[in-house]
């Protein structure tokens, strides 16, 4: 899209779509209480002493590789709640002992994590790396349980890391979430575990590994679509160190949100899928990172949230892009396999349709992601580009000191979203494009336009999309942090958390 076309779309979108009603007109709004920012469990939790002992390099500990598999493990669930057990399945390159240490990610006076417990030494030994299933490429481990953790009632909802440390000096990780879906909170943050697994190419060993993008050729090189898997399993470690690809985006968001004192709880994309989330329990739902792979159940929950008056904030880009199925795994455990055939024929499409791009489902692109979010994925960047500010007088940019056409350097990166006037748009909604940033799509060298978008429907319910990978990193990551992004995101959440009552 040319810059002129994008600016034309901006002026059109600011007017809004047919039937749109502004706030304050005779309309029954969803009831939401006053925000609990600054006086809640999260603030009290973050007064605890933090720990910086979880990263590599402490006490000479070394990282692992998939080909040697010095110490690696996976969890039996992506999220658990109080009183529920979570099992860890661990393999080592030699028979030895290891410990499992659990940390909660947060602010903790800028340290970034809190140490909660360390297990007694447990015995580990080598476990078999399974071969991919010939038809689907599925790689699923059946390693025995090494250690089980029962979640204490004193642990509040959050993003957690299990850290595996071997007797011979190696360390790896696996993440999980403690959820409290029975507790209402102002904000619910969703961790994109289905997308984590889509990118997981374990084992990255030169022979076996596959994800939903790639696999190995016969000569040990990384191939592409012909070698990729159609199904990937949660019953395996994440590749290499065990920290999923793009996990830093979610850690950055969590640390920033907790440093800001928001009343926040956490859940995963699988919780959306399995029906554990009641959107009406939250004033806003934040999708903190790269959230590309969505089942029908996940999307239904997001659409129900907007209908219930719950605001949505997508802090990255390329969200709700591929339609997936979640299938049972070993021992008939639900939602342990992510299925996505993409361009290949789907042999078992569900009632929701085949596992293709959402924009290819329904007549006239009826299910395109833009229909919910207002913008959609439109390109890949070879190198970062500046985000170019639009509508600088809007409350979103208040206090940033930015003016129209001002640039925030290197903020548009990796993948971008933009407004496409030929695709379906949210009904009864006013849209404001808060950034219009030209960039070059590395796939075809064509010029494209990134947009940061805010949609407001007739109820006053907001759907925000940052439209770039670097937005969540700019909240807290020391290599990317931007006071402009921090202030704008605070403006957004504070506006979302304004109390609403029946009129």
Cα 55 to chain centroid distance, Å, stands at: 21
> Distance between CA atoms of 197 and 244, rounded to whole angstroms?
8
Band of pLDDT at residue 331, cut at 50, 70 and 90 = confident
Residue 28's pLDDT is 63
- Band the pLDDT of 30: cuts 50, 70, 90: confident
Give the C-alpha separation, 396 to 382, whole Å. 29
Provide mean pLDDT across the span 56-62: 86
Tens digit of pLDDT for each residue in 163-217? 999 999 999 999 999 999 999 999 999 999 999 999 999 999 999 999 999 999 9
Q: What is the pLDDT of residue 24?
A: 46
Q: Under DSSP, is residue 126 helix (H, G, I), strand (E, B) or coil?
A: coil
What's the predicted TM-score (pTM) here?
0.94
Contact 342, 324 (CB under 8 A): no
pLDDT given for residue 330 in this prediction = 84
Please give the Cα distance from 465 to 212 (Å, whole number): 25
> Could you please report the per-residue DSSP string of 340-408?
--TTS--SS-BTTB-SSBGGGSSGGGTT-THHHHS-EEEEEBSS-EEEEB--TTSGGGTTS---TT-EE
Measured CA distances, 49 to 101, 308, 438 (Å)? 16, 38, 44
Give pLDDT, residue 67.
95
Percent of the chain at pLDDT exceeding 70:
94
Reported as a pLDDT band with limits 50, 70 and 90, residue 362 is confident
Ranges 14-18, 145-149, 196-200, 330-334: which has the least confidence: 14-18
Higher pLDDT: 331 or 98? It is 98
Instruction: Give the C-alpha separation, 268 to 206, whole Å.
Output: 31
More confidently predicted of 16 and 190: 190
CB-CB contact of 171 with 62 (8 Å)? yes
> Is the model more confident about 15 or about 470?
470
Task: For residue 401, give the nearest of 480, 475, 484, 481 by alpha carbon.
Answer: 484
What's the 3-state SS for 248-271?
HHHHHHHHHHHHCCCCEEEEEHHH
298 band by pLDDT with thresholds 50, 70 and 90: very high
Nearest-angstrom CA–CA distance, 182 and 159: 17
C-alpha span between 317 and 249 (Å, rounded): 11
Residue 332 binned pLDDT confidence (cut-offs 50, 70, 90):
confident
pLDDT tens digit sequence for 208-256? 999 999 999 999 999 999 999 999 999 999 999 999 999 999 999 999 9
Contact 437, 450 (CB under 8 A): yes
Helix (H) or strand (E) holding 434: strand 429-440
Residue 149 is predicted with a pLDDT of 98
DSSP 17-54: -TT---TTSS-PPPPBPPP-TTSSHHHHHTTSPP---S
Q: Which residues contact 216 (CB under 8 A, 6 or more apart)?
A: 206, 207, 208, 209, 210, 222, 223, 227
For 131-159, what is each residue's pLDDT tens digit?
A: 999 999 999 999 999 999 999 999 999 99
**Position 295 pLDDT exceeds 80:** yes
> Are β-strands 231-233 and 337-339 bridged in parallel, bridged antiparallel, or unpaired?
antiparallel
Do the bridges between strand 231-233 and strand 429-440 make them parallel or antiparallel, or are there none, so unpaired?
A: unpaired
Nearest to 301 by CA among 292, 314, 310, 289: 310
Tens digits of residue pLDDT in 85-114: 999 999 999 999 999 999 999 999 999 999
Q: Categorize the per-residue pLDDT at 383 as very low, low, confident or very high, splitting at 50, 70 and 90.
A: very high
């Amino acid at each position: 899209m040319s810059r002129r076309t994008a600016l034309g779309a901006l002026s059109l979108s600011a007017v809004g779509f047919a039937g749109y009603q502004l706030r304050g007109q005779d309309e029954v709004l969803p009831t939401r209480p006053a925000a609990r920012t600054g006086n809640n469990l999260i603030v009290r939790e973050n007064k605890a002493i933090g720990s910086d002992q979880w990263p590599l390099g402490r006490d000479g500990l070394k990282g692992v590789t998939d080909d040697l598999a010095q110490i690696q493990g996976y969890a039996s669930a992506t999220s658990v709640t109080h009183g529920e057990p979570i099992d860890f399945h661990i393999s080592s390159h030699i028979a030895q002992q290891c410990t499992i240490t659990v940390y909660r990610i947060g602010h903790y006076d800028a340290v970034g994590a809190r140490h909660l417990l360390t297990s007694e030494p447990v015995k580990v030994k080598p476990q078999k790396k399974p071969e991919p299933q010939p038809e689907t490429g599925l790689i699923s481990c059946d390693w025995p349980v090494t250690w089980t953790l029962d979640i204490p009632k004193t642990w509040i909802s959050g993003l957690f890391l299990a850290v595996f440390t071997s007797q011979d000096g190696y360390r790896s990780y696996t993440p999980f979430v403690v959820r409290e879906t029975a507790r209402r909170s102002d904000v619910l943050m969703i961790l994109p575990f289905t997308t984590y697994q889509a990118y997981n190419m374990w084992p990255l060993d030169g022979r076996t590994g596959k994800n939903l993008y790639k696999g190995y050729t016969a000569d040990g090189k990384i191939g592409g679509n012909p070698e990729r898997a159609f199904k990937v399993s949660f019953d395996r470690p994440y590749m290499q160190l065990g920290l999923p690809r793009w996990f830093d985006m979610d850690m950055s968001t969590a640390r920033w949100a907790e440093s800001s004192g928001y009343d926040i709880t956490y859940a995963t994309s699988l919780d959306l899928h399995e029906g554990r989330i009641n959107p009406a329990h939250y004033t806003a739902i934040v999708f903190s990172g790269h959230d590309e792979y969505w089942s029908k159940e996940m999307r239904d929950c997001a659409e129900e949230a907007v209908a219930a008056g719950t605001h949505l904030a997508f802090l990255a880009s390329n969200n709700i892009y591929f339609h997936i199925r979640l299938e049972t795994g070993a021992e008939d455990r639900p939602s342990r396999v992510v299925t996505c055939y993409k361009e290949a024929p789907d042999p078992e499409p569900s009632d929701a349709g085949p596992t293709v791009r959402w924009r290819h489902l329904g007549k006239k692109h009826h299910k395109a992601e833009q229909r919910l979010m207002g913008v959609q994925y439109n390109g890949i960047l070879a190198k970062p580009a500046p985000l170019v500010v639009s509508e600088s007088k809007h409350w979103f940019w208040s206090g940033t000191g930015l003016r129209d056409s001002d640039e925030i350097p290197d903020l548009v990166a990796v993948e971008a979203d933009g407004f496409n006037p030929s695709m379906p748009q949210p009904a009864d909604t006013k849209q404001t494009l808060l950034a219009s940033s030209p960039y070059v799509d590395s796939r075809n060298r064509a010029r494209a336009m990134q947009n940061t978008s805010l949609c407001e429907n007739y109820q006053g319910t907001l759907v925000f999309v940052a439209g770039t990978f670097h937005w969540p990193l700019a909240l807290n990551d020391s290599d990317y942090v931007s006071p402009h992004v921090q202030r704008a995101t605070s403006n957004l959440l504070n506006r979302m958390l304004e109390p609403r009552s029946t009129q």
